[in-house]
Chain A
Amino acid sequence: MVHVFLSLPPSPPLYLSLSLSPADIISTVEFNHTGELLATGDKGGRVVIFQREPESKTEPFSQGEYNVYSTFQSHEPEFDYLKSLEIEEKINKIRWLPQQNAAQFLLSTNDKTIKLWKVSERDKRPEGYNLKDEEGRIKDICTVTSLQVPVLKPMDLMVEVSPRRVFANAHTYHVNSISVNSDYETYMSADDLRINLWHLDITDRSFNIVDIKPANMEDLTEVITAAEFHPHHCNLFVYSSSKGTLRLCDMREAALCDKHSKLSDVKFSHSGRYLLTRDYLTAKVWDLNMESKPLETYQVHDYLRSKLCSLYENDCIFDKFECAWNGSDSVIMTGAYNNFFRMFDRNTKRDVTLEASRESSKPRAVLKPRRVCAAGGKRRKDDISVDSLDFTKKILHTAWHPTENIIAIAATNNLYIFQDKLNSEMH
């Protein structure tokens, strides 16, 4: 079944959305591997990390609430003096590294530079140094008359975020994807024309593994739109192109799928068997073992076919919608316009359109299915006509909790977190 989603308190205005500054527009959303942390990046170069609150005895429903855990400035605007152009600070992608010790690590990237950040907690601080006073000033040695052993004293929890590595100067074009390999040691970064392979510890060297730049740029007809490693096989990765080609690569190159319209996103299923792609009008599921045609095709907003001229004129047709799998690979989710997002159940073939809005997201409110009536179609009560869709309200970035039915939806500068009703009632 398609799940009934509840708004999860304290959703909006959970995000810092007091001002409607363009810098607040969320540009990426990503759960970590356990789903306990959720990171968003925005146009202003900031990363905000949310942490799921542990269940409390007094408030039975409190589990699942995500609260701000840490905020930091990941990227700053820069200037490319060779091209005389600004390099935006906008965070294009965030990827969490699998947790290996108490600290968490994440990669964030803007158009050019990838950074590795360490996120760690500190709840104790040393006290009683012999040579320093409480403020850290060096004591006059004459005043030291006795020795003491410094002790760790508990203090308020502090989340520290520190930059660990900066991977720069490897991309001529705009970085659109980063993906951490299942070997946990390497990752790749893809720009419009090239994909580079990095070791997480080495910042001054990367290996180019895909280069589709033609010798003569006049011959350029295709760019890379997204790339991702296979979840289990560290030698496999896939990338999608603006021409709708998916290429599954294994150090050699082989076309996986035939051609369709431009792809904006590609995601491996958790099992690693399927690929989910998103183009402008549809979402498709591909089987890695069948490259001739997609296994399933889902219409996301077919009613836009008659609007494409306007959507080309106003540049909406270039919007890059992302897509996501649920934890069991049985449901897929992707965004649309008018703050709508769509879910498709692969088994029952049922689908639903939901809306991320302030009204529908009062705590514990149940999301009501919405319906867009195509031009000329029969219009039912509460239907929205195609002509009244707001194309400035687009949901490009969505994320699904790795194991539970909790989803995060970025709608311009608001982050909405919804939870499956069944799921929340169990707790």
Chain B
Amino acid sequence: MFGKGAKRKLDEDEEGMEGKTLEVSLAGGGLGLGPECLSKVSYTLQRQTIFNISLMKLYSQRPLVEPSLERRVLINNMLRRIQDELKQEGSLRPLLLPPSPPPDDPMDEGFREAAPAFAVLSTASQSCLNHVDACPTPLEACLTPASLLEEDGGESAFCAPSPPTPPLSPPPVVPVPASSIDGFTSTLSDMELSLPTAITRTAAANTTTVTTSSPPGILLAEARCAELRSMDTLPVLPPGGLIDISSSPLSPGSSSSPSGFLSDLALDDVLFADIDTSMYDFDPCTTAGSMGLTAGGSLTKLSPVVTADDLLKSLASPYNGPTPQVSASQPFKIDLTELDHIMEVLVGS
């Protein structure tokens, strides 16, 4: 979480930072811009998406009945696997770090590792949105960078349509040789090539961008989760229920400890404590609690009921231009396996 001194304005710094991060990360993959590079990026995106979905699943327990242990173990295994992978790729981290993290950064490893993917994601998705105009406004609202939530009372940040974000670059209709344009644009146009993947993950990434942050972020994640659930005809957690999670008697004060979140799950044992959740730093002592309340309340209205697939479909035709029918019946071929077939269906070895 950013300290008070580290607050930033969206319109300049946010974009700049993400732009840089993207640039750096792509440069880090070699200037080749070849398919390996792209697939590496999309793999990272997929992995990050799955990581975030997994965390949300762990947090969005329906508290009425005892949650399924099997489901939790499977999600947990998934998280562990991804964390292991991230740890092994630790060497990449310096390259992908945000330019100037606050010196006393309370964020843990997980966040640092996670951050780059967020940055790439949100940049990619924002650029898509700007180019395509196919996304409903609420989606953009959801993409509001997490750092915004801490500013000016999260409520306004959420209720208002997302602040105007200057397009990163003019939409490159025809792929331009990298040499003719500065490096950044060319990376962008390359991002476009890998868009299928990026977009597929974008819907889930709505939550992605926000999950990392402050209390409102968590509420957003919860609200979004409820939306996901309602789509699946599971019982919907009412907004009030969401707020209960933060203020429930289950976590009186104890939640001020960074890793207190998992222990809030009604477990007879402290389960899965080795998944570091301090990135979901939760501090009810700050005013954010009440902020989150309103934000969470209004959010549920805003959150669009869009699945990754819906989004994929809605974005499919603009991108494939002349042959929309083909694209409709043939969803994007992701050159990567769907995150290795979701780790061969939930971390089978």
Contacts and interface: CB of A to CB of B under 8 A. Distances in A.
A385 interface: yes
B68 interface: yes
Contacts of B348: 243-244, 259-262, 279
Contact of B232 (A174, A225, A307, A314): A314
B227 to A, nearest CB: 11
A381 to B, nearest CB: 14
Given A220-B271, A305-B338, A318-B68, A242 B49 contact: no
A84 interface: yes
B309 interface: yes
A225 to B, nearest CB: 7
Main secondary structure of the interface of A (DSSP, over half): loop
Contacts of A281: 341, 345
Interface in A231-283: 242-244, 259-262, 279-281
A400 to B, nearest CB: 25
B233 A392 contact: yes
Given A223-B69, A225-B70, A306-B338, A83 B268 contact: yes
Interface residues of B, number: 55
A177 B273 CA distance: 29
A313 interface: yes
A217 B68 contact: no
Interface in A285-318: 305-318
A24 interface: no
B342 A317 contact: yes
Query: B69, B272, B273, B329: which has the most chain A beta carbons within 10 Å?
Result: B69
A312 B65 CA distance: 21
Contacts of A261: 344-346, 348
Contacts, number: 144
A87 B66 CA distance: 7
Nearest to A224: B70
Interface string B302-346: 000001110001000000000000000111011001110110111
Given A217-B271, A305-B338, A87 B65 contact: yes
B330 A111 contact: no
Given A261-B345, A385-B329, A392-B233, A312 B53 contact: yes
A383 to B, nearest CB: 11
Contacts of B178: none
A136 interface: no
A315 B61 CA distance: 12
A75 B271 CA distance: 30
A279 B345 contact: yes
A351 to B, nearest CB: 20
5 contacts: A80-B66, A218-B272, A221-B80, A242-B74, A310-B307
Given A221-B80, A280-B346, 13 more contacts: A87-B66, A174-B66, A222-B73, A243-B347, A260-B348, A262-B345, A308-B342, A309-B201, A309-B338, A310-B308, A314-B231, A315-B234, A387-B329
